[in-house]
Structure 1
């Protein structure tokens, strides 16, 4: 962005700003689509002796360097074959001496929810230890353990296999940024020789290939952790053109555009810029308005005459007031409600009568 390689709707941007999905974003000439409604998740197998970072280091091999060897990256788009950017977020890092499954996502909020201890996502590790196994002490970890002021929570330890020199243990716990298995087993007089993260939540290491990045679907058990995108109103450039009055220069509404003199609406002058003072378009509309007013006036006069006739018949006697007259009065009131015309002499006539 500092080099002016990012454009939004054709304008170069040099600072962070919120961009709606309808905007056109380009980076180095390549279109950048809006983020998906759901985050993306990948998985990889980290070998031993590899630093758990996507950055390249000169003195040590990194996970990012290893993944780029098996995946062709484009220098222009800074994207890989699976669409993994350089700024992908690791869900839970592993030490250099450890190996196993590593999860990556493109959503930092989703990463934070997956690593939050309150989410209660268990991690399964295979740990190779040297020493005599204290069976009773290992069972006591099921109820929770605290080491040097760090609470590990319940830790389930099971024996996988044993030999005369070492043992393999299956350990299940909720990892945090402060948990250290070497420190944990040192309290049990066990020396950790090897750590392998076998599973993280519903994902297992056997589902992945070493040295490759595999896209993973979000398991249904993790759907409640997916961040919800907020729908907010945003100002976006309007499509089309705004009609402007040629005399005053102010914008016109869709209703004023048909009646103003600056817009030609007559069939003979449809393509002209303005009808003018004596244009044919304005004359057509004035004629139509005069015709409509004449029709309304005629209907009103007919209704007035009908009402006067009904009043005269009622004055002659009730024997002449039949059902037909009552129906005509009802029709008259219905018509008056429809056209919304109030007779100013109506109150005077009733008072005189």
Structure 2
């Protein structure tokens, strides 16, 4: 006869609670329709289980228009979901299925495309200018898909400007957190030493604005004219010009020569070409895998 171990858990009879109020049953599950009825301001949501995104973002990625333009179209009642016009750009969807613009169904977003453009000086990086000044869209050749610029080059800066069909890729390339390097060549007038330029690897603060690491090297000097190459990862507004002017230099020409692994190379001014899809896919994979942060800079000797 087997004797149960004193350490073995025994099945004990259940004991009814004595006294007190009886335990209440679990509340019934609330239907999604009832939840929406109680929250009239809650954005329209698609079925759970898939990633939801704002409709303005989805439409921008599909190449319909910019997010700002899409918000205007929504306010005008031109965008509908399953036949019902929406009134907020905060509408959340998992896809563009059932979405129409001006009564026409919207196709799913095509794969992202990336183009190189050699921006000449004298053109604004914007779609329209209230003052009527020329923009990059006046210079781009016809027949291209709807493109948005990655970052900006000011009117007098020339060189490589990346253009893309995909707002998500644009943001990936622009965010300082992704660490995508931008390289420039600047022609400047004034006195500067290589030692002074090497100090920029520590970053610099100008008028209360902190600029991160800049790898700067003097390429050549002719009298008081110098050519300087600078690589940075933040790309703040007019960063290169402001840093060099802070060092006492007058910038007479500024050219962006590379953005990440994409060089300007010998692309003629005003010309545009498309980055190979294979190269774009490999680059995006490298972004998803993350980049190791550079070691903490030490003060140069």
Give the TM bin, normalised by the shorter chain: 0.5 to 0.7
CA distance in 2, matches of 1:22, 1:130: 54
| Correspondence 1:33 to 2:107 | yes
Pair 1:132-2:191 in alignment? yes
- Give yes or no for the alignment of 1:61 onto 2:134: yes
Partner of 2:121: 48
8 Å contact from structure 2 (residues 182, 235) kept in 1: no
Using the alignment, how far apart are the partners of 1:177 and 1:97 within structure 2?
Answer: 16
SS of residue in 1 equivalent to 2:253: strand
- Structure with higher RCO (Cα < 8 A, 6+ apart): 2
Equivalent position of 1:13 in the other structure: 85
Q: Any conservation in 2 of the 1:45–1:205 contact (CA below 8 Å)?
A: yes
Query: Which residue of 1 is the match for residue 285 of structure 2?
Result: 223
Find out whether 1:164 has 2:223 as its counterpart: yes
Query: Per-residue displacement from partner, 1:284-303 (whole Å, max 9, x unpaired)?
Result: xxxxxxxxxxxxxxxxxxxx
Note closer, same or farther for the CA distance 1:225–1:136 as it changes in structure 2 (3 Å cut). closer
1:142 corresponds to = 201
Please list every run of 5 or more consecutive structure 1 residues that lacks an aligned counterpart in the other structure: 72-80, 227-353
Report if the CA contact (8 A) 1:42-1:105 is conserved: yes
Task: Indicate how the Cα distance of structure 1 residues 49 and 22 shifts in structure 2: closer, same or farther if over 3 A, else same.
Answer: closer
Task: Please say if residues 194 and 218 of structure 2, whose CA atoms lie closer than 8 Å, have aligned partners that are also in contact.
Answer: no
The unaligned stretches of length 5 or more in structure 2 are 1-72, 289-301
Q: What is the TM-score with the length of structure 2 in the denominator? A: 0.59
| RMSD, aligned α-carbons | 3.0
More helix by share: 1
1:136-215 matches, cutoff 5 A: 136-178=195-237, 180-206=239-265, 208-215=267-274
Q: Where does residue 156 of structure 2 map in the other structure?
A: 97
Is residue 145–residue 165 contact of structure 2 (8 Å, CA) maintained in 1? no
Moved segments of 4+, more than 4 Å: 1-9, 16-22, 24-31
User: Superposed, which structure 2 residues align to 1:251-290 within 5 Å?
Assistant: none
Post-superposition offset of 1:12? 6.2
| TM-score computed with the length of structure 1 as normaliser | 0.52
Deviations 1:77-120 (A, max 9, x none): xxxx3322xxx432210111111111223333332232222211
Cα distance change on mapping 1:40 and 1:211 into 2, 3 Å:
same
User: Are residues 182 and 82 of structure 1, via their aligned partners in 2, closer, same or farther at CA, if it must alter by over 3 Å?
Assistant: closer
